[in-house]
């Protein structure tokens, strides 16, 4: 088993910050079960699938591994993988703090303008762990719904937490209720 | 036509050469006939021989002079008709129609005679030449020369309309004459009747009624206007039956309906102080019935009435359920609802022909406003409680059924039937345990009705409560038979053993029973558990009651009916005359809120203050001191102090009940979702919500947000998953 120290050393050798998101992608390739630890099988198997047999190669491959995040399909898989990887063994849901950390990291890569509001909202109103369904649906939401919420469909079967988030945005004036304003103008 | 039989003897054969007829013969023969026609028209026919004339006509046709005969007929008749026209034209005033009528009768007589004479021509010459038969010819000539003569046509039209108008104005007219003239027009052909009478009749009538409706609407109230309209309508129907063509009836009634009813119906229905709403409020059955009968004749008439009625009911209903004054007394509130329903049922029955669509509108209106107030289920249960507790005392079985059926009717309107169930259970428990039910038959009857309406599940627990009561009776009998000798000195015990789950949930509280009570209770417990192995008994001290005999100063005795808590507190005063709050609390160990309420009912209630409190404030403080009130007096020997009757819940209690109801709904919603998904395997979100609502709406209206949360919970617990392609679709996981 490679534990936290081992990983720290590995990152040193790779000249990569342990908090760097590329480590997530690496873990994904290794199908790692939990963050901050690799089993021998995961480590070796992962490197084999990447075709890496030396530290040099590994170091050289880092940029290309990082660029995999740009691919939409791969990003989705990595994102969904992250849930299982980041949560505590034996828990069904992901602790809120961890989730927020992961989201901030992931959406740095994949720019979502509402990520800060989302995290604030959760801390103010939710304060509970995040379910898998909510986690995966959030990505869909970030991808398909316009940041101004102009195409948000209230009948869209979004998880309740996301509906609440939309309410929160409207209540706090972060999102103008465009539709309504236009109506008023139309009648003047 | 030759007969088949061969005849012997004389044979007559036709001329073998052409028979030549004297050309002057035709002219001579015609002259005879012409003369006859003149005589007939001059009413001088008695001197004529029918046989001779017939023969003459016959011969002319036979000898191929049909054309001459026919032409002669036409010109001769025309000649006479022109004379007649002149005579009619010349008549003055009212004689015009009379002359016309007279001449018409005469013409018909003449025509008949002429037709008879010329019958051979009618039957042979006319069919082969396709000319107009004699009778019809006579009518056509009359039409063309008299009716449509330029001097007569307009005058006739106008005269007829004037007469109708006179009658409408109230004058008496000669109906027989009118009948004849109208019949004449009908005989001349439908287009004549329509052109020369019916169309102008309808036009004039429309104008007349338009004017009249405008006049009446300004000066009459709704009821009066309707009476007038009805009168006019009936007049027209009578007119048609008396002297017009029956086919005109529907046309003229349409005119009256359009001008007097349809054009004004909105204004009538909404008329201030006399319109439909006022009629409803004042129960004006006759006026409303009239309105119904008149409005049903026009398009959307009944819809208008129904809509006005519906919005009125909804408005008054809404006021009723939101007015805090009217909500103070739940029993009174429900009685008002029933009274409103009865009132409108009667109106629909007596005035609106029991119209089904009106009934439906009434029902949906009631359903609408009853559910505006979330306390309706509770109040209806309290109403039932009041009736079953005392209201139905001494009432006949049939009347009991009537009241219960009315309650069921209100129950059906409720959207939150599960809330009603919760309250009903609580109230029923109190009734059963205090023995305060007026009639067990009535209770059972209502439960049966609920079962029929909602199914077995709704009432199975309620029935369990009755069973427990019965079983407890038997248990007590057994107990006293077995242990009677040991209990002779102690207090008489009556125990109801309640099956947890059937009865409304209560949390158990601490309470120290007095030793004499505890002793007999323990004996019971031992007895019961001896015969019912494996069960657990818990005393529900917050639900019991006690009858205790108290002796006051000067030997005054009273029997007090108190709750168990109150009994525990009072028994303390057997050992002391003065006790502080804290001392009492320590001794009885009843929770604070309950204890304070208990002490309040013993020391601060007028006429029931068996305890005295210092200071004499209204509220109980922990520094208070209590004394046995030696000077207590009451005009009754038996004094009831225990609060056992069901009451309207306080705000916090109501919140608690509401919360419990919401908690109970969650598993029901989940069960419905699982049932649906198991059957459908794959279903989208909106359809799940719709199906769940459909399944549960007979009990309550599920909130779509709650349904969504339950779905997410089921996803979490891996009963369902989202489809990978379409995120709005859910899949059942076996």
pLDDT band at residue B17, thresholds of 50, 70 and 90?
low
Decide the pairing of beta strands B545-551 and B638-640: unpaired
Whether B354 and B429 map to the same domain: the answer is yes
Query: Picking from A63-72, A175-184, B116-125, B591-600, which range would have the lowest pLDDT averaged per residue?
Result: A175-184
Task: Report the CATH number at residue B613.
Answer: 3.30.230.130
Return the DSSP state at A70.
G
Main-chain phi, psi angles of B347, to 5 degrees? -60, -45
What is the per-residue pLDDT across B296-306, written as a single tens digit (0 to 9) for each?
999 999 999 99
Is there a contact between A102 and A86 (Cβ–Cβ < 8 Å)? Answer: yes
Is the residue at B540 inside a domain? no
pLDDT band at residue B639, thresholds of 50, 70 and 90?
confident
B686 contacts in A (CB within 8 Å)?
Answer: 155, 157
Residue appearing with tokens 């705000």: B651
What average pLDDT score do residues B38-56 get?
A: 88
Main-chain phi, psi angles of B413, to 5 degrees? -75, -20
Whether B54 and B114 map to the same domain: the answer is yes
Report how far Cα B461 is from the mean position of its chain's Cα atoms. 35
Listed residues B467, B497, B514: the one ending a domain:
B467
Half-sphere exposure (CA, 13 Å, Cβ side) for A49? 12
Is there a contact between B639 and B559 (Cβ–Cβ < 8 Å)? Answer: yes
User: Which residue in B591, B465, B471 sits closest to B531, CA to CA?
Assistant: B471
pLDDT greater than 80 at residue A182: no
Decide the pairing of beta strands B611-614 and B625-628: antiparallel
What is the per-residue pLDDT across B218-243, written as a single tens digit (0 to 9) for each?
999 999 999 999 999 999 999 999 99
Segment B572-575 long-range contacts (CB within 8 Å, at least 24 positions apart): B573/B611, B573/B626, B573/B628
A to B CB pairs, distance under 8 Å:
31
A93 contacts in B (CB within 8 Å)?
Answer: 716
Whether B39 and B169 map to the same domain: the answer is no
Residue appearing with tokens 């990520």: A115
What is the per-residue pLDDT across B693-719, written as a single tens digit (0 to 9) for each?
999 988 899 999 999 999 999 999 999
Q: Concatenated DSSP letters for B236-254?
A: HHHHHHHHS-TTHHHHHHH
Listed residues B240, B275, B299: the one ending a domain:
B299
Whether B682 and B582 map to the same domain: the answer is no
Interface predicted TM-score (ipTM) of this complex, two decimals: 0.84
Is A135 in CB contact (< 8 Å) with chain B? no
Query: Picking from B79-93, B167-181, B425-439, which range would have the lowest pLDDT averaged per residue?
Result: B425-439
Is B686's CB within 8 Å of A155's CB? yes
Is A138 in CB contact (< 8 Å) with chain B? no
Listed residues B423, B449, B467: the one ending a domain:
B467
- Give the integer Cα–Cα distance in Å for B637 and B157: 97
What is the per-residue pLDDT across B380-409, written as a single tens digit (0 to 9) for each?
999 999 999 887 788 888 888 999 999 999
What average pLDDT score do residues B131-150 get?
A: 93
pLDDT greater than 50 at residue A181: no
Mean pLDDT of all residues in chain B? 90
A3-17, A115-129, A139-153, B403-417 — which one is most confidently predicted on average?
B403-417
Is B712's CB within 8 Å of A157's CB? no
Question: Percentage of chain A surpassing pLDDT 70?
Answer: 92
Whole-number pLDDT of residue B454:
86
Main-chain phi, psi angles of A16, to 5 degrees? -130, 140
Q: Is the pTM of this model over 0.80?
A: no
Whether B167 and B128 map to the same domain: the answer is no
Whole-number pLDDT of residue B277:
96
Whole-number pLDDT of residue B333:
93
Residues 6+ away with beta carbon under 8 Å from B121? B57, B60, B61, B66, B69, B70, B134
Total residues belonging to chain B = 734
Whole-number pLDDT of residue A178:
54
Whether B127 and B225 map to the same domain: the answer is no
Which two tokens mark B608? 């029931």
- Give the integer Cα–Cα distance in Å for B411 and B415: 9
Whether B381 and B447 map to the same domain: the answer is yes
Residue intervals in chain A for CATH 1.10.238.200: 72-172
List the CATH code of the domain at A72-172.
1.10.238.200
What average pLDDT score do residues B161-166 get?
A: 95
Whether B607 and B720 map to the same domain: the answer is no
Smallest CA–CA distance, residue A188 to chain B, in Å, is: 32
3-class DSSP assignment, residue B134? helix
What is the per-residue pLDDT across B414-472, written as a single tens digit (0 to 9) for each?
999 999 999 999 899 888 888 878 888 889 999 999 999 888 888 888 888 999 999 99
pLDDT greater than 80 at residue B4: no
- Give the integer Cα–Cα distance in Å for B648 and B654: 9
What average pLDDT score do residues B282-303 get?
A: 96
Whether B141 and B161 map to the same domain: the answer is no
3-class DSSP assignment, residue B561? strand
pLDDT band at residue B18, thresholds of 50, 70 and 90?
low
What is the per-residue pLDDT across B246-268, written as a single tens digit (0 to 9) for each?
999 999 999 999 999 999 999 99
- Give the integer Cα–Cα distance in Å for B582 and B53: 138
Query: Cβ of B711: how many Cβ atoms within 10 Å?
Result: 26
pLDDT band at residue B10, thresholds of 50, 70 and 90?
confident
Whether B134 and B186 map to the same domain: the answer is no
What is the per-residue pLDDT across B596-619, written as a single tens digit (0 to 9) for each?
888 888 888 877 888 888 888 888
Smallest CA–CA distance, residue B661 to chain A, in Å, is: 21
pLDDT band at residue B156, thresholds of 50, 70 and 90?
very high
What is the per-residue pLDDT across B538-561, written as a single tens digit (0 to 9) for each?
888 888 889 999 998 888 899 999
What average pLDDT score do residues A151-174 get?
A: 87
Which two tokens mark A65? 């591994």
- Give the integer Cα–Cα distance in Å for B54 and B426: 107
Residue intervals in chain A for CATH 1.10.238.10: 4-70
pLDDT band at residue B364, thresholds of 50, 70 and 90?
very high
Half-sphere exposure (CA, 13 Å, Cβ side) for B161? 20
Domain holding B594, by residue range, is 545-640
B716 contacts in A (CB within 8 Å)?
Answer: 92-93, 131-133
A157 contacts in B (CB within 8 Å)?
Answer: 684-686, 708, 727-728
- Give the integer Cα–Cα distance in Å for B593 and B591: 6
pLDDT greater than 70 at residue A184: no
Nearest CB neighbour to A133, from listed B686, B722, B728: B722
Return the DSSP state at B554.
G
User: Which residue in A160, A140, A159, A141 sits closest to A149, CA to CA?
Assistant: A141
CATH superfamily of A4-70: EF-hand (1.10.238.10)
Chain A (86-105) residues lying within 8 Å, Cβ to Cβ, of chain B: 92-93
Is B686's CB within 8 Å of A160's CB? no
Whole-number pLDDT of residue B234:
96
Whole-number pLDDT of residue A185:
40
Decide the pairing of beta strands B557-563 and B638-640: parallel
pLDDT greater than 90 at residue B292: yes
| Domain tally, chain B | 6
């Amino acid at each position: 088993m490679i534990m936290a120290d081992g990983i720290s050393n590995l990152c040193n050798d790779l000249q990569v910050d342990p908090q760097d998101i590329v480590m997530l992608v690496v873990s994904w390739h290794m199908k790692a079960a939990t963050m901050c630890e690799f089993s021998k099988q995961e480590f070796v198997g992962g490197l084999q699938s990447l075709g890496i047999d030396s530290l040099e190669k590994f170091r050289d491959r880092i940029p290309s591994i990082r660029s995999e995040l740009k691919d939409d399909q791969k990003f989705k898989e990595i994102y969904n993988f992250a849930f299982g990887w980041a949560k505590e063994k034996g828990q069904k849901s992901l602790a809120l703090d961890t989730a927020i950390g992961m989201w901030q990291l992931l959406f740095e890569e994949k720019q979502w303008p509402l990520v800060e509001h989302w995290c604030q909202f959760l801390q103010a109103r939710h304060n509970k762990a995040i379910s898998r369904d909510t986690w995966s649906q959030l990505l869909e939401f970030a991808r398909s719904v316009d940041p101004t919420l102009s195409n948000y469909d209230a009948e869209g079967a979004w998880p309740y937490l996301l509906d609440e988030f939309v309410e929160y945005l409207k209540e706090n004036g972060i999102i103008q209720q465009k539709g309504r304003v236009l109506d008023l103008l139309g009648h003047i | 036509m030759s007969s088949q039989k061969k005849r012997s003897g004389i044979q007559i054969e036709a001329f073998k050469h052409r028979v030549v007829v004297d050309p002057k013969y035709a002219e001579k023969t015609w002259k005879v006939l012409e003369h006859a026609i003149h005589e007939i028209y001059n009413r001088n026919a008695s001197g004529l021989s029918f046989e001779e004339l017939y023969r003459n006509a016959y011969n002319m046709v036979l000898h191929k002079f049909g054309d001459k005969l026919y032409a002669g007929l036409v010109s001769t008749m025309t000649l006479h008709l022109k004379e007649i026209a002149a005579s009619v034209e010349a008549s003055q005033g009212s004689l015009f129609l009379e002359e016309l009528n007279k001449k018409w009768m005469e013409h018909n007589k003449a025509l008949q005679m002429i037709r008879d004479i010329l019958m051979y021509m009618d039957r042979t010459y006319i069919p082969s030449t396709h000319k107009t038969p004699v009778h019809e010819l006579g009518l056509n000539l009359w039409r063309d020369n008299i009716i449509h003569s330029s001097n007569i046509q307009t005058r006739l039209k106008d005269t007829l309309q004037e007469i109708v108008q006179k009658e409408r104005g109230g004058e008496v007219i000669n109906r027989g004459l009118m009948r004849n003239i109208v019949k004449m027009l009908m005989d001349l052909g439908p287009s004549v009747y329509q052109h020369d009478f019916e169309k102008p009749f309808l036009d004039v009538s429309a104008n007349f009624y338009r004017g009249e409706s405008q006049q009446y609407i300004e000066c009459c109230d709704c009821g009066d206007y309707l009476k007038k309209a009805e009168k006019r309508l009936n007049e027209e129907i009578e007119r048609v039956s008396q002297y017009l063509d029956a086919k005109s009836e529907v046309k003229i009634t349409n005119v009256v309906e359009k001008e007097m009813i349809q054009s004004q119906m909105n204004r009538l229905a909404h008329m201030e102080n006399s319109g439909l709403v006022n009629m409803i409020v004042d129960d004006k059955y006759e006026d409303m019935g009239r309105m119904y009968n008149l409005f049903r004749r026009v398009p959307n008439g009944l819809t208008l009435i129904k809509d006005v009625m519906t919005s009125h009911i909804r408005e008054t209903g809404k006021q009723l359920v939101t007015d805090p004054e009217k909500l103070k007394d739940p029993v009174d509130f429900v009685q008002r609802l029933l009274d409103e329903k009865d009132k409108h049922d009667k109106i629909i029955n007596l005035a609106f022909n029991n119209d089904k669509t009106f009934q439906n509108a009434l029902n949906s209106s009631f359903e609408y406003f009853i559910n505006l107030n979330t306390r309706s289920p509770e109040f209806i249960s309290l109403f039932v409680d009041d009736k079953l507790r005392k209201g139905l005392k001494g009432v006949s079985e049939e009347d009991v059924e009537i009241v219960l059926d009315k309650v069921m009717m209100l129950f059906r309107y409720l959207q939150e039937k599960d809330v009603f169930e919760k309250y009903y259970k609580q109230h029923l428990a109190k009734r059963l345990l205090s023995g305060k039910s007026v009639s067990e038959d009535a209770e059972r009857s209502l439960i049966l009705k609920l079962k029929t309406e909602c199914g077995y599940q709704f009432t199975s627990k309620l029935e369990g409560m009755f069973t427990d009561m019965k079983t407890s009776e038997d248990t007590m009998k057994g107990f006293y038979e077995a242990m009677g000798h040991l209990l002779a000195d102690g207090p008489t015990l009556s125990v109801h053993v309640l099956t947890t789950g059937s009865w409304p949930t209560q949390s158990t509280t601490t309470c120290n029973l007095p030793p004499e009570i505890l002793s007999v209770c323990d004996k019971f417990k031992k007895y019961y558990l001896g015969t019912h192995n494996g069960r657990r008994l818990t005393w529900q001290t917050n639900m019991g009651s006690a009858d205790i005999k108290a002796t006051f100063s000067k030997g005054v005795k009273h029997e007090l009916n108190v709750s168990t808590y109150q009994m525990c507190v009072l028994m303390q005063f057997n050992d002391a005359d003065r006790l502080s709050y804290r001392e009492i609390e320590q001794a009885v160990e009843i929770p604070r809120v309950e204890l304070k309420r208990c002490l309040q009912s013993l020391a601060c209630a007028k006429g029931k203050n068996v305890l005295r409190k210092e200071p004499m404030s209204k509220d109980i403080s922990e520094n208070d001191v209590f004394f046995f009130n030696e000077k207590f007096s009451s005009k009754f020997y038996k004094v009831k102090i225990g609060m056992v009757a069901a009451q309207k819940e306080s705000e916090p209690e109501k919140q608690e009940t509401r919360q419990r109801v919401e908690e109970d709904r969650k598993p029901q919603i989940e069960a419905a979702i699982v049932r649906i998904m198991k059957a459908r395997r794959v279903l989208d979100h909106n359809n799940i919500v719709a199906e769940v609502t459909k399944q549960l709406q007979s009990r309550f209206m599920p909130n779509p947000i709650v349904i969504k949360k339950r779905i997410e919970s089921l996803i979490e617990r891996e009963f369902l998953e989202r489809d990978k392609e379409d995120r709005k679709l859910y899949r059942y996981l076996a």
